[in-house]
Structures are given as C-alpha cells and as structure tokens.
Chain A
Amino acid sequence: MALIVRFRKLCFVEPVRFQSYESQKCEKKEEIVAPPTKNGLEINKKKTKRGPRELSCIDYCCWMIGYLCTIWWLLFFLYHCLPATLLGFQVPESPGTRLKREGLIAQHPVVLVPGFVTGGLELWEGKPCAEGLFRKRLWGGTFSEMFKRSLCWLDHLILHNETGLDPPGVRVRAVPGLAAADYFASGYFVWAVLIENLAKIGYEGKNLFMAAYDWRLSFQNTEIRDQALTRLKSKIELMYVTNGYKKVVVVPHSMGAIYFLHFLKWVELSPLMGGGSGPGWCSKHIKAIMNIGPTFLGSPKMVTSILTTEGKDVARFRAMLSGVLDSELLGIQTVEHVLRVSRTWDSTVSLLPKGGETIWGNLDWFPEEGQVCVCSKKRSLLTSTNDNSTDVKGGLQVKESNKYGRIVSFGKSASQLPSSELPSFDTKEFFGLHMDKNSGSSCGQVWTEYDVINRESIRKFAENKAFTAATVFDLLRFVAPKMMQRAESQFSHGIADNLDDPKYEHYIYWSNPLETRLPDAPDMEIYCLYGVGVPTERSYVLKISPADRCKSIPFRIDTSVDGEEGSCLKNGVYLVDGDESVPALSAGFMCAKGWKGRTRFNPFGSRTYIREYQHKPSSSLLEGRTTESGSHVDVLGNYAFIEDVLRVAAGATGAEIGGDRIHSDILKMSEKINLQL
C-alpha cells in the first residue's frame, strides 16, 4: 500500500511540472511559427491543429500514469497468482506444528496480559470533533486519525490532569478480546504469532484470554473505573472451572508483568481493599507466570521519556532533522504535545526505575561493572571471531569511564567524573525556587508543566549534575511536580525494610516487587523470559535545550556526545545488555536473586526460572521480524520463547523445559547487588 501512495504522489507531482513547463513552450512555439504564416486564419488553423499536439504533454502524463498503473496491476495480479512456495522462502516450521506432532495438546488455559502501549484503545464517547469514531480505534490499528485530526486525537487520549481518570465528556476504553493486542498496527504483530501457535495445539476462545486493560491508567484505577481486575479474576476462575479444573498459565508482557503482580496482591486481599478471594486463590488457580520482557525494576528509558519525551530514537531523529519537530511555523509543537499528553498517563510512572541506588547503582558504583559493553562485543564478534582477549580488554577500558549509576547526567563530563569532583547539591535549597513564575502569557496553548518553572532555576538545578536512580526522582519532582504528586499516590519505587509493616497493605506498593511479597503459592512457577544481546538504554547525557523559548522543553539528549570507538556511549546514551527497552538487570534480577529460593519477597518459595533469548538480527530485509529476535516486542515472535510457552501450557514444568538458560551476566550482576533477602 505504501508503494501505491508513493507512486500516486509521483504521478501527481509530475503532471503539474510538465504542464507548466510545456505551456510556456507552447507559447514560445507560437511566436516562432507565427512570422512565416501571414494569414491570421492560417494561424488559427494551425492553432487548432496544433493545440492538441502541444498539449500532449498532459496526454503523456495520463498515458504514463495509465501505463504504470496497468503494469502495477499486472504485477500485483501475477504476484497473487504465484503460489506462496514459489517465492523461495523456506519458512522454518512453526513451533506449534512441530509440538503438535510431538503430541502436545492444550492443557492449561492461557491468559495473556499485554504491556504498555501495545494494547488498543477505542472511543466510546467523545467531543464533537471525534464524530463518527464511535467504537473505532484511537490507539492501534492504522492510526489514521492521528494524521487527520491530530489535535482532536490528542484531546481524546489525554487523561484528566488531576484525577488521572477520564476528562469530562470523553470515554476512551480498552479494546476487549484477543483483538486488543494481536496486532499493534496492521502487519506489526504483537501477540498474533503466539496466538496462532497456541491455536495449533488446540487453544481457542474458551481457554485463551487476553486481559486487555487501559494501559494509560494507574493499575488501581483500572479497577476503579473499569473493574478490570475483577473481570480478570472472574475470567480466570471461569476458565479454571470450564477447562476441567486446570490451573491457568499467565503470560504477561512488559508492563503487564507488574500489572499482574498488582493483581496477585489485589486478588487475595479483603474485599475492602482488594478482590476478597482470600489466601490460596493464586495457589489454586495459577500454575505459572511466564513474564516476557518484564519491567520488574523499571526501565531507565522512562526517565527521559518523562523529562523530554524522547528516547534514543527520537533524539537521533531530532538531531538529524533539527527544527522539524520543534517547528513553530506549522504550529505543530509535536514534542510538547506529546509531553503534555503522556504526562497525564499515570502508568508511565510505574515504569520508573525501582529500588534506587541499591539496585541501579550510585554515583560511583553500579551492578553492571565489569560487563563488557554489548555494542562493542557484538561488533567485534562480527569482525573477528576468535580475538577474544583484545575484545575483553577493550571492554575493560571502556568500563572505567562508564558510570551507569548516573542515570541522568548533564554534560559528558558530569557523567564520567569521579563523584568527589561533582558539585554537590541540596534538593531543599532548590525546591523553593521554582515558585517564581515565568511569564507564561506568550506560551501558546500548549501547556506543559515546564511553563510554570523558571528556566533559570532549572539551569541552576541541573547544570553539571549527575542523578542516580534515587535522586532522579528529585529531578522529576522538581520539573513535573503535579504529575509526580498524582502518580506517587499510585506507585512506589523504594525497597521495603520490613515487609510486615502494615503500610505495605496499601495498593501503591503492590506492583513493586521490592515492596511486596509473592502470594502463598509454593507450586506456582515464575519465569523471567527476556531477550538479550540488544544494546539497551541505561543512562543518558542530557543538555539544557539551547533555544530557551518558553515553549520548548528545557532538556534534551545531547546526541553529540559519543564515546571512543567501541564505547557504550552513543549519541548521548549509555547502553547495556538487554532487549532494547528493558535492561537485563530489571528483567532478570527478581528471578535471579530477589525471589530465588525462599527470600523475604518470596516467603513460600515459589520456584523461579530465567530463560534468556539471544538476539539474532534478521539477515535480510525480506525476513522481516525474525523468529530469533530478542528485542522487546519482537521477542513475542521468537520461536524459542513460543516453544517454552507452549510446553508449559501443555503441562510441562520449568525443570522439564530445561530450567535456567542464561546468556548474559545477570547472575554476576545480581550478586553485586547488596539487598537484604
């Protein structure tokens, strides 16, 4: 389709150009022709005779368009006539088919819990500008509305600034059913491959359920507004009963993992606070939780996306086309709008790094110490196969200058200096400052919280400083006080000292694995499945935005900062091993250490397994998203992952599918983390 559109554009542009050019020509020609013919009539004749001939440039265009169209259709037709096998792809056999031949059949009902962003949202009630979009997808699908009426679209996706619920007069709800997240956009699968393979061994609507929820809301609010948790509970109970009392296998992805953690806690608590099913519910109904790419300890990516709305990709894009995204001429202010909308989404806060400096490292220390940088490792693997010794050395060299613990640092120097040389800061000193308001009158209607904050104070606050996973919250509270105030009544990011403290009964702690206990379900298995081998954002070098106009966001990633060749610092982003979005540390730590054996977070000793999937990039474009990918979303199409899920769903235990399978340094890293268990 994209080709057609491009082609159509081509056709549209050309005729115009030809026409104007040619018509000038035609006039000229007449002048040339006119002198020899003395009779006016003759000229007229010539004109009528010639007119067509000279206009034929238009004809040519028509002709050409017709020609191309015809050829296009012919090719299209031929392509459709071709049997699929002729195209020469030897598609590897899908795990579903293979396992079916092995005799696996559907046993345990499967619940899929989608993650952040990948679930579809549809409109149930809107403002007049959204006329005709009733029950149409606003998020997911083709995103056509985003282009057609972008402001209206944003108006509907935004949540209320204070409550974090619907703004008045707008109801946007999660798409229910499997259709919610099988494909994110047309052709871009999320769960579809897994669903198809599950179906091959006998799964269908009655034993496969997609727990779609509105991923913009905080977890507790999904229950308050949509009763999403109650529905999930009732669905699981129903499937348990109707499938011959077989426990369910839950497959949460990304943020779904902490959503389900929240659910586990919610479901067993008394009806006043939770689902009221009493202890033992999880042990009775759940066989295994197969977290895929879980964000148990958060993701550093979220920090910058809240600060500047940009991740690695956007930052690079911005550097390349400086000015386009920020262009005021078009009145677009894209980034500002995105910032305004995404800051109303409470769920983003659930993805901030959890566990503070104990987990993510402080100014001088970090758990990935000594880890060979992925990007350099990969490159050297590609070029020289057996040059391991130098490779490690290169990694060690780089190590000295990387301080991953500093999640956000302003300026490259701040990111690399020893901590003793960094200017010390005192947060309290600054919190008084931002009350003096900037003159916000000239700032258009796009209101972000940045407008309220004095630029100067931001500069003072941030300049040459480095922030760790703990102090970065001060920065966030400073630049986005309202959002953090709202969100911190929904989520907590600390580490519990004493889990018996009654305050941990409150729902803000439920989705933080470091502040909550696993339920009493010794037979329940917990899997941490994630891709490794993809460079993943871990910490950022920011700069104060050069254009200090009132509308712009004051920070941006300093894309000019690059490390030496083979360094982990690239375009202002320090990279570590992970699945492109979630560092291995966040995905694997709980299973590798926090819950391993009987710990205070896992008092009943549910077994945990780590299964890592080494990323293999696609060898050619034709392959599309490969079956061996390890990146955050594509891993859902990874055949090894699918096979694991199918085997567990068909009754296998974690030990039977091979126990732990580790490629990364997750165990080493976890060992370094000094967490009382």
Chain B
Amino acid sequence: MPLIRRKKPNEPSKTSASDSKTPSEEEEDSNNKEHQKKPISGRAQEKPGSKPKWSCIDSCCWFVGCICIAWWVLLFLYNAMPAYVPQYVTEAITGPLPDPPGVKLKKEGLKVKHPVVFVPGIVTAGLELWEGHQCADGLFRKRLWGGTFGEVYKRPLCWVEHMSLHNETGLDPPGIRVRPVSGLVAADYFAPGYFVWAVLMANLARIGYEEKTMYMASYDWRLSFQNTEVRDQTLSRMKTNIELMVATNGGNKAVIIPHSMGVLYFLHFMKWVEEPAPMGGGGGPDWCAKHIKAVMNIGGPFLGVPKAVAGLFSAEARDIAVARAIAPGFLENDIFSLQTLQHVMRMSRTWDSTMSMIPRGGDTIWGGLDWAPEEGYIPSTRRQRNNDTNNGCQDGIENEVSQRESVKYGRIISFGKDVAEAHSSDIERIEFRDAVKGRSVANNTCRDVWTEYHEMGYGGIKAVAEYKLYTAGSILDLLHFVAPKMMERGSAHFSYGIADNLDDPKYKHYKYWSNPLETRLPNAPEMEIFSMYGVGIPTERAYVYKLSPAAECYIPFQIDTSADGEDEDSCLKDGVYTVDGDETVPVLSAGFMCAKAWRGKTRFNPSGSRTYIREYYHSPPANLLEGRGTQSGAHVDIMGNFALIEDLMRVAAGATGEELGGDQVYSDIFKWSKKINLSL
C-alpha cells in the first residue's frame, strides 16, 4: 500500500501548500482540471468557496476510499490465492491433519451398500415460510429457522409470531404455514459454517453415496410426533421413502441415523409404521425387520433431559442463566420493550415437541429425594486418564465420601442451595398442588406478552416455592401446576411413566410410542440398535432455583446463579448440578436403554434385537484453527467426530455391531444402570 505510506506525512502541510500558490501552479491546476474534473466539480458542489482545500468531509471520503481499495485488494488476493494455502498453513501449525474417514475407508475398499436415513433432532433442522401475515411479506419459502436468522433481528416480533404454534391445538395458527425444509439441505448446516450433518454426508459421498441413497427425514420439530403425520404426513413420507430406497438399492435394508430428539421420533415411527391403518402406517408386523438394518442413535435423549425442565419452567438453561447473571436487567429490559425471555417462553411453550424431552421414568430412573443412580459420580476423566485436565465435578477420590452426601441429583429442582443439600427429613415441604392460584393484580402492565404465569398470581408462585424439592416424578405435577394448558396439550401426545404391563391395550395409543419405557421394540431380531454419544462434558442434571426479585411481569423463577459449590471442581456451578454427558443429554438418558433395558431379551425388547453402546470421549479442539474439532463429544459437534463417522460408515457399508468392536464405554453407565431397579 504505497498510497498510504506516501500520503500520511503530508496531510498537515496541505493547507499551507495551497495557500502559497505560485502562478505556475495555478497554470498547472488549470491543466489538471481536465483530468480532475470529477473531483473538483464534486467538491465545488459542497464548498463553492474554497476549491482546493481539504475539508473534513473530503478526508473522510479519502479515508473511505483508501479502505475500500485496501479491502478490494485484499479480497482479490484472497480469491486469487490457491486453495491449498490455508490448509498448508493449518498443517504447518497443528501438524498433519488425519485423513477424513471417507478417504481412509475408501482406500480400504468400502463401498456404498445400505441406504442411509438421517433423522435430525430438535432445533437443528430448518423451517421455511409458506404462508404468512402481512409483516412477513417477501419471505415466501425463505428460512425462518436456520440459515442466517436475519429475520430475527430485522423483525423480531413478526418472527416470534410466525414461529409460534396455536396455543390449544398445537398446530398452525390461522393464516400461517411454516413448514420444514425438505431434502438434504434441511439440516446439513444449521447456520452458515455451523455444520450438523454436512461432514457426515461429505464422508459418505466419498464411498459412493449420493442423493438417491441418502435421505433426510426432515420434519417440523415444533410439532408433537403424531401431529407431524396429521398435518404433513411426514411419517407416511418417511415410510414410502425408506421402502423406495430399499427397493431401488437391490433390497439392502436401510441404516437409520437419528440424532437427539430424532431418536424419539424414530422410536415413534417404528411403532407407528407397524400399527394398522387408522392410527398407524399399516406396514404390517414385520415392516421394521424387512426394511431396517440398524438404528444408530446419536446422542439420544431416550429418557429425556433435565435441561428441558429448566427450559419449560423458566425459559433458561445454564448459558442463559449465566448471561443473565453477568448482565442483570438486560434480558428483562423494559425500556426496549424487549422482554426477550418472556417472548421466547411464550413461543417455545407452544411447541409440543419440547415436552417429549421431559425426563421419563420418574423417580425409578432419575432418583428420588435421597437417591440417584449417579450417586458418587466421579468424573471418568479422573479415573481413566489421570493426566487429563479435569473440568469435572470432584477433586478426587479423597473427596468422594464427603461429596457423596451432598450431591443429590434426584432433586431436579430445589429452591435454595441449602435445601438442595439437606437431608430430606430435615426439610419442611408444603403441598402445592391444591394451592389457590391468585389473580394477578396488575395484569395490564405486562403488555401483550402473555405467559401462563400471569394467571398464577402470588399465591401460586409462593406455593411452588414452598414445596422446595422436586424429583423427576413431581416435576410433572409442578409443570402441570405452572403451565396447565401446555401440559394438557402435551399429555395428549406424550407420556412419561413406566409401563407395568405392556399388554395393556391402552399402550396401543400413540402417546406412548415415543417413550421407550412404555413401548416394545418391533419384532426385528436382526435389527441392531446403537447408542452413540459423547461423554466427558459436564451436563446439566439438577437446578437450584430462586424466586425472581420482580415477580410480577417477569417469569417468577430463575436459576440461582449464585449457588456454587465449595471448591472449584464442585459439581454445583452457577446453580446447576452437572454430571457426565455430552453437554445436553446425561449419560444415563442416552445409554440406559441400550445398557440395560433393551439388553438381551427383556419385556421392552421381546425379540432380542442386539444393542451396542459406543461412547466417544470428548477432547476439545486443541486450537482455534481446528474449528469444532474432529474428536468432539458435544451434543451437536459430535456429528463431526471422526471416530463416530467411521463407525457409521462401516455399518452403512455392511458391518455389524460385532465387527465394529461391540461396546465402547468410558463412563459408569453400566454401574449406574445396575442401580436402577426396573423390572425387565
């Protein structure tokens, strides 16, 4: 940039130069005029009097021009740069990158065999607008969810309005149709640059997969599972597509890869497809056996996630709670009439699917007031890899005994830290279920943001706080109490219990289909079920709550971020108890079914489909250049984990679970499962 270098020293002397103008210069000026016509005339418009002087505006323009030129030059250089340079730089810094699994396995001679079906999870798939209100003009077939999220910033209220569902039916509100994006583009990237399925697809393509052998079963993740069939016939389409792919690929059965909530969705599908026609798909009792080779669940919240409770209860999870603590008042700011959280809550409470993730199995699975399967949890990092830096819960085996007493994971929500740690007999609890909900006094001050909390009034809120401790079982009652409408809608579609007798005809109803504890696996002894998930990341398991200070217009509860454990490595951090998991789903939820409930021939798995657990130990990316890492175990980033991709590809190319190496376990999942007393 010689321009800049030469220019800089001169600026101050400019005025003097133009002041002391010699006649010869003036002559030249007139000579120059021809070539400088544009600038001069432009300047003349602005400042008719002082022609050759540089004003502030001129300097600004000059500056902008310089920057523009510099930018263009850089852009040009960047575009002209051969493609291998960035990779070369990265390799120089981090050492040679490992071959992506696609390349490696292609060298081994793996080829496309079984068609592959992806079932995306909650939130990660795109939604687009098909019909909207006036304010959404010009957004036809544009993504409302996923992509750049440009509309969230441009017209947030309009966006919230379109993303919400009808409060009572859980379907479209009148005049609005938002539909899932179809095809592989639905969830390859969530936002530009943030991959979800793209890495897996790219690797599968290397061994010969293409659009005809890959299918993204995208569905509207806001709806309850049965409603996706009622509104969009999504389940029927999925069935037809799987049949079609199996037929056009020489009868090779499909490999299903559901992720996150997709796991539950596919569980629902497997039951639906074999049920007779009016309620189900009418595929006959051996449909799954005929069409499915393996179900490879990635990060599946089989038994729900505690995070969903916090999300429904106060629209916040650990991240939001921390943000709230750092910048108090910002999220609740009334001045900008933002009320962000309230809006988010109002919107997300209309989404039935969030209720599919409420912890299932009650106290039997998640533990009671004084008991939890994870009791005495020591981060597996400590025991297996002693040299690893430990971001887990406890400091070591010495502390184990003392800590064991204090961490009571069974209490998913407790009001106050002291309550969370005290023994159950010491706590006085007041029954909240019959408490009278007082009318809130000044409802009109709360603007148009309506959440069900306004109907509870002080009395109800107080009653909730008085009960103090909630386990997985009583959480349901709590949610029924604070959000009756939502739960009424939800309980028509989902069930959270444990079946005593699976032969009971009531279990034919679709609301039980997505609960692995209240439904049987299909009769498909050849079918393999994998539970694949990341471990080694602290995952939310239980919360310490407090009453929100300004309890009227706001959401009355919030996570007590001041509640911290005694020392650095405590499991309690910012009011959240964490256990091992993949950041979203605790190990227990992801692994229990495959570790115990479906292992061998049980009443949940009468035909004895084989199950495998594949855990992937999380190791964070070494530096920023690596992006999201190739060994990550985090809930979404695991989709780029090379070990996971390799496993998926081997199975897709024909390998069985045994050939992969059977179970691969780092966590205490088997120990914990043993503690759970469930009749099988």
Contact = CB atoms under 8 A, between A and B. Distances in A.
Interface in B378-431: none
A328 interface: no
A193 to B, nearest CB: 11
A446 B356 CA distance: 61
Contacts of B24: 29, 32-33
Q: Which of B6, B31, B39, B42 has the most CB of A within 10 A?
A: B39
Given A57-B36, A200-B131, A242-B233, A62 B248 contact: no
A196 B182 contact: no
B18 A8 contact: no
Interface in A36-61: 49-53, 55-61
Contact of A55 (B10, B58, B179): B10
B459 interface: no
B492 interface: no
B194 interface: no
B18 A231 contact: no
A179 B244 contact: no
Indicate the size class of the contact surface on chain B.
35 or more
Contacts, number: 164
Contact of A231 (B3, B35, B212): B212
A2 to B, nearest CB: 16
A188 interface: no
A204 B176 CA distance: 12
A171 B237 CA distance: 27
Contacts of A51: 6, 10
14 contacts: A21-B35, A25-B31, A52-B7, A62-B63, A63-B58, A63-B62, A199-B131, A199-B140, A204-B130, A204-B177, A205-B179, A226-B212, A235-B240, A241-B236
Contact of B65 (A65, A174, A200, A231): A65
A243 to B, nearest CB: 8
Nearest to B70: A62
A134 to B, nearest CB: 6
Contact of B183 (A131, A179, A231): A179
A202 B202 CA distance: 35
Contact of B17 (A49, A124, A132): A49
B7 A55 contact: yes
Contacts of A173: 210-211
Contacts of B61: 62-64, 66-67, 70
A59 B83 contact: no
B294 to A, nearest CB: 23
Contact of A238 (B182, B185, B240): B240
Contact of B185 (A25, A171, A179): A179
B509 to A, nearest CB: 22
Given A52-B14, A64-B39, A204-B130, A242 B237 contact: yes
Contacts of A423: none
Contacts of B208: 125
Given A64-B65, A66-B64, A199-B140, A177 B182 contact: yes
Nearest to B63: A66
Interface in A173-232: 173-174, 176-179, 182, 195-196, 199-200, 202, 204-206, 226-227, 230-231
A255 to B, nearest CB: 21
A21 B188 CA distance: 54
B569 interface: no
Interface in B50-67: 58, 60-66
Contacts of B14: 52-53, 56
Contacts of A381: none
A69 interface: yes
A69 B68 contact: yes
Contacts of A204: 130, 177, 179, 232
Given A29-B28, A179-B185, A238-B240, A134 B205 contact: yes
Q: Select the residue from B39, B188, B211 with max chain A CB neighbours within 10 A.
A: B211
A176 B218 CA distance: 14
Given A62-B3, A177-B183, A234-B244, A206 B232 contact: yes
A107 to B, nearest CB: 16
A57 B60 CA distance: 16
B447 interface: no
Interface string B63-89: 111101100100000000001000000
B171 interface: no
B586 interface: no
B642 to A, nearest CB: 17
Binding site secondary structure of chain B: helix
Nearest to A132: B83
Contacts of A132: 83
Contacts of B140: 196, 199
B205 A124 contact: yes
Given A65-B69, A179-B183, A53 B10 contact: yes
Contacts of A241: 236
B13 interface: yes
By size class, the interface of chain A is 35 or more
A302 to B, nearest CB: 28
A141 to B, nearest CB: 13
Interface string B295-326: 00000000000000000000000000000000
A431 interface: no
Nearest to A122: B211
A216 B647 CA distance: 36
Contacts of B247: 230
B370 to A, nearest CB: 51
A79 interface: no
A141 B358 CA distance: 43
B244 A230 contact: yes
A227 B210 CA distance: 12
A275 B130 CA distance: 33
Interface string B230-271: 001100110011011001100000000000000000000000
B288 to A, nearest CB: 19
Given A177-B185, A199-B141, 14 more contacts: A25-B28, A52-B7, A52-B11, A52-B14, A65-B68, A69-B68, A70-B61, A125-B205, A125-B206, A171-B210, A199-B130, A200-B131, A205-B179, A234-B241
With a 10 A CB-CB cut-off, give which of A8, A132, A182, A204 has the most chain B CB atoms. Answer: A204
Nearest to B39: A60
Given A62-B3, A66-B65, A176-B183, A52 B9 contact: yes
B373 interface: no
Would you list the 4 A-B pairs with minimal beta carbon distance, nearest first? A52-B10, A66-B65, A66-B64, A66-B61
Interface string B12-43: 01101110000010001001100110110010
Contact of B201 (A55, A135, A178): A135
Given A124-B205, A124-B211, A230-B247, A69 B10 contact: no
Nearest to B60: A66
A447 interface: no
B337 to A, nearest CB: 22
Given A52-B17, A226-B212, A242-B237, A67 B83 contact: no
Nearest to B18: A53
B490 interface: no
Interface in A119-156: 124-125, 131-132, 134-135
B101 interface: no
B180 interface: yes
A425 interface: no
B17 A53 contact: yes
Nearest to B202: A134
Interface string B151-188: 00000000000000000000000000101101111001
A347 B212 CA distance: 21
B3 A58 contact: yes
Contacts of A56: 14
A18 interface: yes
A177 B241 CA distance: 14
A227 B248 contact: yes
B210 A205 contact: no
A192 to B, nearest CB: 8
B236 A238 contact: yes
